[in-house]
Amino acid sequence: MGKRLRLWQPHLVYSTVERTSDRQFAFKPDHLPENPLLRWDSDPRSLDPSNRLIPKPSIINIIGSSLVRAQENKPVELLWVESNINHIHSGFKVNHQDDLNLLSSFKKHVNALIARFTNKTLERDGHFFNGPFRSAPCLDGPSAEQQFLYAATNVVKDGLVDTVRQSPFFNTYRHFAFGQRLRYWWIEWAEYDLAGGRRNRKIHPKDYLKWGELKLGCLPEWEGHSVHRQQTRYRQQVREIEEDNRERRRDEGRAVVGVSGLYAVDPRDRPASPKPSGGQPLCHASSRETRRAYQELWREFVKEHRKASWDYRCGYYDREFPLGSFRPPITTIYNASSL
C-alpha cells in the first residue's frame, strides 16, 4: 500500500497483498501428514483423552481460525485467501457504505491473531508483517476473476509446486474445486482464565476448544451459475494456468522447488537474488475506458482529500472528508499538572 491514500467504495472487490518479515509460512517437519496426530486438518477432540497436552495448531489452522474469528460481527465479505511462502493474497468487498469503516478493525483483528499465534508456534518474536497491506479495486467482474485466479495459482507461477493442490501453504483449492468445508479450531483462552486457568486442576485448555467455519463469498463474474458449474469452471481455469506454467518452465529449463524443498527452507533464509517488487497498480480493469474513468475519479478524490486534510490540521475538526475516506480520530491531550 505504501503512502497511497485508500479510496473505499461499496460493492467493489478489493485485491490485497500482505508481506511478512521473513518466510513464516515455510512449514516445519512436524506438520508433515505422516503423523495423523499432528495433521493440520485433524480434529484435536479425536485424540486420546488421556493425552493432556495442549493441541499445537499448524500455520494453516492459525490463518483459518484468525479469519473465522475476525468474521464475527464484521460485515466484510471475504472472496478468497491464498498464502505463499512470504505473503498472503486476499480479496474482499463490503456491500454498504456505512460498513466501510469496519474494514480497518477487520484487518487489524485478523493480522493481530495471525501474528500472535504464529510467533508463538514458531517460537519467534518481533514484527510479523512487513508494513501495511497493498490493495487495489477490481472495477468489473473479469478483473476480479483474474485477480482471484492469480492468487490461487501464485505458488505455481513462482515455481514452488507443479499444481495448486500440492501446495503445503494455506489455500482454498479444495473448497472452490470440490466444495470442501473450511473448518478450523482455536482455544478460548479468556474463558479458560476466567474459569481459574492453571489454578483449577479440574479444567484443561482443550475443554475450551472451539470450531468455526470460514465463509467465502461468490465472485461477481460467477453469480447466477450453479455451484457445480462454478467448481467446474474453477478447476478448468486452474488447470489451464498450471499447464501454461509447466510449458514455460520446460522451455526455460527450470524445475519446481517441490514440497520437500519447501519443508527444508529456513524461515530466516533469504534468496540469493531476490526479485524486485513490482509497482502497485491503481486499479484492475478489463478495459482501458474503465481504467481511465477511475483515474479521473481518483484525481478528484485526492484533491478533495488534500483540502479536507489541510482544514483538519488547521483546527477545523468538523471538516467532512470525501466519501470513501475517513476523518482521523480526535485525540485529547491533557496537561499532567491539571490532573
Q: pLDDT by residue (tens digit) across 36-63? A: 333 434 444 444 443 444 667 888 999 9
- Is 122 a domain residue? yes
CA–CA distances in Å: residue 278 to residues 13, 198, 207, 261, 281: 21, 50, 47, 26, 9
Per DSSP, 129 falls in state: B
Structure confidence at residue 21 (pLDDT): 85
Query: Which cell numbers in the block locate residue 236?
Result: 478448468
Q: How far apart are CA 175 and CA 260, in angstroms?
A: 24
What pLDDT, on the 0 to 100 scale, is given for residue 338? 53
Q: In CATH, what number is assigned to the domain containing residue 103?
A: 3.30.70.1290
Q: How confident is the model at residue 284 (pLDDT cuts 50, 70, 90)?
A: very high
* Residue 7: inside a domain: no
Residue 275: alpha-carbon gap to chain centroid: 22
Using pLDDT thresholds of 50, 70 and 90, give the confidence band for residue 2.
Answer: very low
d(CA 322, CA 307): 10
324 assigned to some structural domain: no
> Per-residue pLDDT for 155 more than 80?
yes
Task: Let me know if residue 1 belongs to a domain.
Answer: no
325 domain residue, yes or no = no
- Of residues 74, 66, 122, the one with CA closest to residue 100: 74
In a domain, 268, yes or no: yes
- Check if the beta carbon of residue 131 is closer than 8 Å to that of residue 19: yes
> Into how many domains does the chain fold?
1
